[in-house]
Amino acid sequence: MKRRIFIIIPTILILLFLPGCWNRRELNTLAIVQALGVDRTEDGEISVSLQILKPSAIQSSTSDKASGSKSVWVVTSKGETVFDAIRNASLQTDRKAYFSHNTVYVFSEALARSGISDELDLFSRDSELRQLPYVFITRGKAEDIIRSDYEQEKIPGQAIEKLAKVSFAASKVPKIQLIDLLKNFASKTNDSIIPGIELVQEDNKEPSEESLKLEGTAILKRDRMIGWFDAKETRGVLWVLGKVKSGIIDIPTPGNENKKSGIEIIKANSRVVPEISAGNLFMTINVHVDANLGEEMGNTDIVKPERFNELENRMGSAIKEEIERAVDKAQNWDVDIFKFGTEVHRKYPKEWPELEKNWREEFKEIQVTILVDAKLHWSGYLNKPILPNTSEGSG
Amino acid sequence: MLENAKITPRQFIFVLVISRIVIAITFFPVFAGPPGNQDVWISEVLSLPVHLLLTVPFYLLWKRFPKQSLFEYTQTILGRTGKAVTLLYVLYFIHELSIFLYEWCAFLTTAIMPETPVLFILLFLFPFCAYAVLKGIEVISRFAEFIAPLVFGGILVIFLLLAKDMDFKIFTPVMEKSMISILAGAFVMGLRTSEIVVLAILLPHLQLNSKKTKLVLLSGYSLIALFWLITTISVLATLGIEFSKTLQFAYFSAVRLVNIGDFIERIESIHLSIWILSGYLRIILYFYCILIGLSQIVGIKDYKPLVLATLTILLPVSLSYQSNISDLNEFLSYTIVSWVNLIFIVVIPSILLAVAFFRKLGETNA
């Protein structure tokens, strides 16, 4: 018994000390950051906007936004470096910013045009910041995106994250996490793409009713942004990268050229095959697409062999056109966003060191062949249009 | 022999393997040496024969003196000068342990507890080390057997959880650089295995007929190579080569990326728990070796009175090692550490062996 007491008393004493440690953080001392925006001010300082969760506001109600209390609070602070700016935020917040639950990074175009690798350094070096949040570039100020409100979700930061996650449905913007960027930056030849995010204001509504929208794709040469790709060009890039998961392709309906039909992409994959012959670099992009007829406008009896095949062919050339546009533009800007360099390295390790030295010039000269193997499978619940077009006939 | 301790073959293997792979899951040093590209996995496979080759001097010494550990046969072979060699090895172990304690603190203070003082981390660790070592090598090896499923299972689980994000294309082109650099990479990896010296101390305790010892060594080194492969694939296929090279704790960074359906994520704690367990095993193992050597030098039968004294020396020594991360990286680069280890793993035992051969000491018929 005596021995047991000798064991129990120190155990309890140790227990008193163990739970409290140097890096103890209680929930009520943390300012949980949901989204982070980085701008550069006119005098060259870094300005960081933090979207901080208000736990009390989340708890109070689940659905009434009408009560007026916002569930997040945005703090903007400035500093010489990103870390400095973040720590300067503690002069305004009574709690220390905590980044482990951050879901979104937003950069302004102005900042991105002068290179973002310096700003990203902290996000990959610090133990609290993670590499899985999504990255966006906005044409305006990142602060405005962070400050914006969102109808569907209580926390705008999470809304932006979910926007990125459902972006696959249209395949018109890429889905880029910080880790993808870091991997591209570390490789010697890859260039990167980052989705754009905008505030859109509808004409007949009040200025306060702005909403967020993903639009366009920022193209980065190494870490410097050089321009935007529109939706079609972006999908061209995504086809090559094999990142198209779903989406709609609009093509003129065979038999009624003024109207369009929508093809729903079900599955797509791609393979890029480099070829060196006679000192020239050739690149063959094989894209295989499985799709269904999703919508038909024009009331033609489309589920007939010749029309269905025509539709299939047009779909193939529509995809080919998208890819061509993307490749042309990328070769004009000499940005290897398709990771062609990596493919060449894999197939021609011997020739690669020579090619790598002057990869941008080589990339411009690549002769690209695009082979699209598009397959149209099903037509949904309908096999004939509901309103048959009798005046023209179905011929 | 100091203790009459017995280690089963399985415990023996686990002690070696866990103590070795803890480095891979902390610093991931495969990129530091040649070939430094996607072919490191070939080097890891080749590390198996290289390990066996590097073990030959100690293995032959043990064949001659099957009942004696390294610290004992130095004196059998060289007489009184043997004590100097023993001291050299004790210093080597103190050095290795201090380096590892440095790594231990570097990882904890960078990745998990940036504000906790290093002194506090070590002060908390040392009583547990003392406790384990006082219990003897049998308990240490049983501890290894106990944590082995956790460590191996943890690494496998992390591999499976990362499988979704892996891109195996990263391993092409195969054999980009010459075979020589790949082989050199295997030698660099093998020379980082200071456990070969530990082996010379543990072999007399191995409870096995001596014919099967080769099999034990072979399976131990195969397990090391296997887990190196698993960790390397986990890191390279998820992070890519160029990015992994820039990371201080590459394996930990890969583990931080686990995210399955926004549901299974933030599993760093798995990595951390297996890392703490296996790191602790490595610390007590080396500590035990230091104590055995010291008690041989002093000439006492029992090393237990030396435990606290050694710890009080070890604390300032390991603290004095700790300057900053750039020094650590510089010292652990293969150009320095390989040569240091080469002396202790190959050169000194070969000299001992030669002397034993010419003085016709030990069992020669084996």
Chain B CA closest to residue A125: B247
Cβ neighbours of residue A144 closer than 8 Å, sequence gap 6 or more:
A138, A199
CA distance, residue B331 to nearest chain A CA (Å): 22
Interface of A with B (CB under 8 A): 21-23, 100, 127, 130-132, 179, 182-183, 186-188, 345-347, 349
Does the CB of B243 have a partner CB in chain A at under 8 Å? yes
CA-wise closest residue to A289 among A256, A317, A259: A317
Q: A21–B113: do the CB atoms touch at under 8 Å?
A: yes
Tell me how many degrees the CA angle A267-A270-A273 measures, rounded to the nearest 5: 165
Q: Is the dihedral of CA A112, A114, A120, A122 positive or negative?
A: negative
Distance (Å, whole) CA B8 – CA B212: 12
> Which chain B residues are Cβ-neighbours of A347 within 8 angstroms?
173
Write out the residue range of the structural domain in which residue B280 sits.
9-358
Task: Write out pLDDT tens, residues B92-132.
Answer: 999 999 999 998 998 988 888 888 888 888 888 898 999 99
Q: Which of A127, A131, A345 sits opposite B257 (nearest CB)?
A: A131
> Which chain A residues are Cβ-neighbours of B111 within 8 angstroms?
127
Chain B contact probe: residue of A179, A271, A272 with most B CBs at under 10 A? A179
Chain A contact probe: residue of B167, B176, B238 with most A CBs at under 10 A? B176
Q: Look at residue B148 and give its three-state secondary structure.
A: helix
Residue B299 lies in a domain: yes
Residue B365 lies in a domain: no
> Which chain B residues are Cβ-neighbours of A100 within 8 angstroms?
266
CA distance, residue B125 to nearest chain A CA (Å): 13
Q: B172–A23: do the CB atoms touch at under 8 Å?
A: no
Does the CB of B142 have a partner CB in chain A at under 8 Å? no
CA distance, residue B122 to nearest chain A CA (Å): 14
Q: Token digits for A388?
A: 């048959």
Residue B88 lies in a domain: yes
What ipTM was estimated for this complex? 0.86
Q: Which domains does chain A have, with CATH numbers?
A: 26-229 (no CATH), 231-395 (3.30.300.210)
Q: Is the dihedral of CA A359, A360, A364, A370 positive or negative?
A: positive
Distance (Å, whole) CA A248 – CA A351: 40
The total domain count for chain B is 1
Residue indicated by tokens 């060009």: A233
Residue B192 lies in a domain: yes
> Which chain A residues are Cβ-neighbours of B246 within 8 angstroms?
186
Task: Write out pLDDT tens, residues B198-232.
Answer: 999 999 998 887 788 999 999 999 999 999 999 99
Distance (Å, whole) CA B219 – CA B223: 6
Q: B110–A188: do the CB atoms touch at under 8 Å?
A: no
Helices within chain A (DSSP H only): 2-17, 55-60, 82-88, 109-113, 117-125, 142-147, 156-166, 178-186, 231-241, 305-332, 340-347, 352-357, 359-365
Q: B243–A183: do the CB atoms touch at under 8 Å?
A: yes
Does the CB of B116 have a partner CB in chain A at under 8 Å? yes
Q: A346–B111: do the CB atoms touch at under 8 Å?
A: no
pLDDT, one tens digit for every residue, chain A (395 residues): 778 888 888 778 777 666 555 666 778 888 999 999 999 998 889 999 999 988 777 665 555 554 556 788 999 999 999 999 999 999 998 888 899 889 999 999 999 999 898 889 999 888 888 889 999 999 999 999 999 888 778 888 889 999 999 988 989 999 999 999 999 999 888 999 999 999 887 766 666 677 889 999 999 998 999 999 999 999 999 999 999 999 999 999 888 888 899 999 999 999 999 999 888 899 999 999 999 999 888 888 888 889 889 999 999 999 999 999 999 999 999 999 999 999 999 999 988 998 999 999 999 999 999 999 999 998 889 888 888 766 554 44
Residue B84 lies in a domain: yes
Chain B contact probe: residue of A11, A22, A188, A350 with most B CBs at under 10 A? A22
- Give strand pairing partners of A269: A288
Residue B345 lies in a domain: yes
Q: How far is CA A386 from the centre of its chain?
A: 39
In this structure, are residues A85 and A116 in contact, taking their beta carbons and an 8 Å threshold? no
Q: Token digits for B146?
A: 């106990």
Cβ neighbours of residue B273 closer than 8 Å, sequence gap 6 or more:
B150, B154
Q: Which of B113, B172, B257 sits opposite A132 (nearest CB)?
A: B257
CATH code for position B320? 1.20.1740.10
